[in-house]
Structures are given as C-alpha cells and as structure tokens.
Structure 1
Amino acid sequence: MASIRPALVVFSTLTLLTGLIYPLAVTGAAQAVFPNQANGSLIAVGDKVVGSSLIGQNFTEPRYFWGRLSATSPMPNNAANSGGSNTGPTNPALLDEVKGRIDALKAAGPVPAGPVPVDLVTSSASGLDPEITPAAAYYQVMRVAALRHLPVDKVNALVAGHVQGKTWGILGQPRVNVLELNLALDQLS
C-alpha cells in the first residue's frame, strides 16, 4: 500500500496536468491568438459552412476550377484518411491515372496548347491539397469562361486576384486556393 499511494498521486497529477490543464491552456491560447485557424479555417457563405481553406474540395463539374487529384478513400479529399496513393513513377497505375486526367481535362472543354501542369494530373502526398499552382488555374480559364459564358480576360483577372504569394515572402510557391476561387467565380457569374 505504501508504494501504491505515491503511484496513484503521480498518476492523478499527471492526468490532471496533461489530460485537462495543458489541453485547455493550449486551446485557450489558440482561440485567443489564432481563432480562425483554431476553428479549422472554415469558409462560410452566409450562415452555411461550405468548406475549409486548408482541405481540398472535390470539384468535378467542368464549369468550376478543378483542384489536385486526391488518393484518399473511400471518397476524394477525405480528411479522416489522409495519405497518398504510394504509386511510384514506374507504376503503370500512375501512368493510367495521369492519362485519364489529361483525357478528362480535354473532354471537359477547351484547353490551351502546351503541356498540362503537373498538379492537375497527379495526386498530392496528403490527398487533401486545397491549392493549385497559378499555371494550373490559368490552364483551366478557357474551359471555365466558355462554360460560364464569361469573357476570358475577366476570368483571367479573377485568377490573378486569387494568386497568393509565398508565405512570408520566402516559403513555398505562389498558389491559388481552389475553393475560394470557385466561390468568387459563383459570385461573378
């Protein structure tokens, strides 16, 4: 009994500290300093939450900009099952996936001449990427403009207005959030 009591006190103290006090303190600090990020960076239209700026959405209609492919299952962009497909560059399944996406892009509507941006035909490592490169967004402008009966220069300007620069000016690459771009496109139409 003499050795059980100290063990129970240590167990109770650590449970209280690490299971209650620490999580509440971190949650409180996050809510105070970064409330949008702490709540999932949710994007709302009116009173309805339509997605998160941190998790890709599965846009398949040709009148919308498409994001990166997602290898998550059982559905695309499943945040509960983040992960890549693990298909390597010599795997025939990857080549078939790329060819299928190129065919889908060409079948959906007019596309510019030249190579297809790689992020439009390959899935991401996480399967959840919410962003594409500016090149991938501009590649889709002709299709989206034609299907929405909008001038190409107006859709180009919309894309240009949604290009985000490098984080803090030095990290990463310029990018376009697909959900935010498509919501702005809906407002434009």
Structure 2
Amino acid sequence: MLKEIRPALVSFAALACLTGLIYPLAMTGLAQVLLPGQANGSLIEKDGQVIGSALIGQSFTTPTYFHGRPSATTAPDPQDASKTVPAPYNAANSMGSNLGPTSKTLADRLKDDVAALQQENPTQPVPVDLVTTSGSGLDPDISPEAALFQVPRVARTRNLPEAALRALVEQQTSGRDLGVLGEPRVNVLKLNLALDRLQAPKQPAS
C-alpha cells in the first residue's frame, strides 16, 4: 500500500511546490522587472505621496475639477450595520446599482442628473457616461466628449481660457489599446493633476 501512496504524495508535493510557490514567485519577479508600475497597482504620486491609482476612480465634486462617472458603490452605515450608505468609488465593495430600465429610482436620478448638467452646459448634449454608472462603480476614465462637456464650467471657475482646457483634455486623451481595443478615454485623476499644474484651484478638491 505504501508503494501506491508514496508516488501520489511525491506528485502532490511537487505540484504544490511548482504551482503554489515557484510559478507565483517567477511571475511576480517577471512582472516587477518588465512592468513594475502595473504590477504594483498603477499608483499615482504627487509630491512623493501616493494619491491614488490609475485603475480606480475618485470622487471629485467641486466645480473647479473635472468630474468622473457616477458611482453606485456603498459602505456599511456607521449608525446601523444592517444598512448601507452611498460611498462613491469604494474599492472594497465594487458593484453596480442593480437597478433595471423600469426602475423609477433610476429614472428619477437620471432625470435630475441630466437637468443639472444641462444647466451647467446648455449648448451641448449630455454625454451618457456622465449620468450612468459603470458595472464596477470604480471606472477611472470618462470619454473625451464627457471631459470636453465640462470645459466651460472648469474654465469659468478657474478663470482660464476654454481653448487651453480643450488642449489639456486632448493631451490627456488615451487612444484605443493596440489601436483597435476599447475606446478613446481620459483618466480623470490624471487630468485633474495636469489641471492643477496648469493652475492651482481656488478651492480644494473633494
């Protein structure tokens, strides 16, 4: 019986060592050599401090900054652990809203958001990604159209020429991966950092 069990145990130990130790360490080391930034979370630094990741959005609400997509993520209610409260871009609880096209709550929220954005820029149609949430709730990017839609507001609140901000958006626009995958996009955090380098805001971001 030992003759039958011993090869099985040896095979198990060898495979466990190969797939559970050697392979992960090799892939980790290779990633650190070839793509260290991506392997460490695509972190973004400012003045030597990590302020976020290029892969996870952040909530900007002040008019002096470009805003990202709405986020439907939540967090436990500090007053009642059995309930949740809105917590935009909560990376610990990636999720969508789970509201369907017949939901009155969703329809009312979309109506209010569109109306507010139309007041902000009445001359342009509202880009769909400025009023719809992503499936993860963590999308760090918006479309170039969504960024350009916000240019008049940001220019007005910062007393900057719109042409300068449109040029900034163009500079921060990433094309399709490999020229064919995905859509052109603008990373909101990187755009706002570039905006701060162009001119310090009159009020802090939130």
| Comparing 11-20 and 48-57, the one that deviates more | 11-20
CA deviation map 1:46-89 (0-9, x unaligned): 21011111111111112110111112222221223222222222
Please tell me whether the aligned partners of residues 84 and 125 of structure 1 are also in contact (alpha carbons under 8 angstroms): yes
| 3-state SS, counterpart of residue 74 of structure 2 | coil
Alignment partners' CA distance in 2, 1:115 and 1:38 = 39
Task: Identify which of 111, 119, 126 aligns with 2:129.
Answer: 119
Residue 59 of structure 2 corresponds to residue 81 of structure 1: no
Q: Name 1:128's counterpart in structure 2.
A: 138
Q: Name 2:20's counterpart in structure 1.
A: 19
| 3-state SS, counterpart of residue 168 of structure 1 | coil
Residue 171 of structure 2 corresponds to residue 170 of structure 1: no
Residue 162 of structure 2 corresponds to residue 152 of structure 1: yes
Alignment partners' CA distance in 1, 2:136 and 2:171 = 26
Alignment partners' CA distance in 2, 1:154 and 1:185 = 10
Q: Name 2:42's counterpart in structure 1.
A: 41
Task: Identify which of 48, 73, 95 aligns with 2:107.
Answer: 95
Please tell me whether the aligned partners of residues 169 and 191 of structure 2 are also in contact (alpha carbons under 8 angstroms): yes
CA deviation map 1:146-172 (0-9, x unaligned): 111211111111112111111121122
Q: Which structure dedicates a bigger proportion of its chain to strand?
A: 2
The residue identity in structure 2 corresponding to 1:185 is: L
The residue identity in structure 2 corresponding to 1:152 is: E
- Unaligned 5+ segments in structure 2 are 76-86, 200-206
CA deviation map 1:68-111 (0-9, x unaligned): 1112222221223222222222221221221232344356xx31
How far off its partner does 1:4 sit?
4.6
| Comparing 119-128 and 88-97, the one that deviates more | 88-97
| Comparing 158-167 and 2-11, the one that deviates more | 2-11
Please tell me whether the aligned partners of residues 57 and 189 of structure 2 are also in contact (alpha carbons under 8 angstroms): yes
Aligned length: 187
Tell me the TM-score normalised to structure 1 length: 0.90
Please tell me whether the aligned partners of residues 144 and 173 of structure 2 are also in contact (alpha carbons under 8 angstroms): yes
Please tell me whether the aligned partners of residues 112 and 139 of structure 1 are also in contact (alpha carbons under 8 angstroms): no
Tell me the TM-score normalised to structure 2 length: 0.83
- Unaligned 5+ segments in structure 1 are none
The residue identity in structure 2 corresponding to 1:143 is: R
CA deviation map 1:163-188 (0-9, x unaligned): 11111211221111101000011111
Q: How does 1:2-13 map to 2 (within 5 A)?
A: 2=2, 3-13=4-14
Aligned-residue RMSD, C-alpha: 1.8
The residue identity in structure 2 corresponding to 1:8 is: L
The residue identity in structure 2 corresponding to 1:85 is: S
Alignment partners' CA distance in 2, 1:59 and 1:14 = 48
| 3-state SS, counterpart of residue 90 of structure 1 | coil
Residue 43 of structure 2 corresponds to residue 31 of structure 1: no
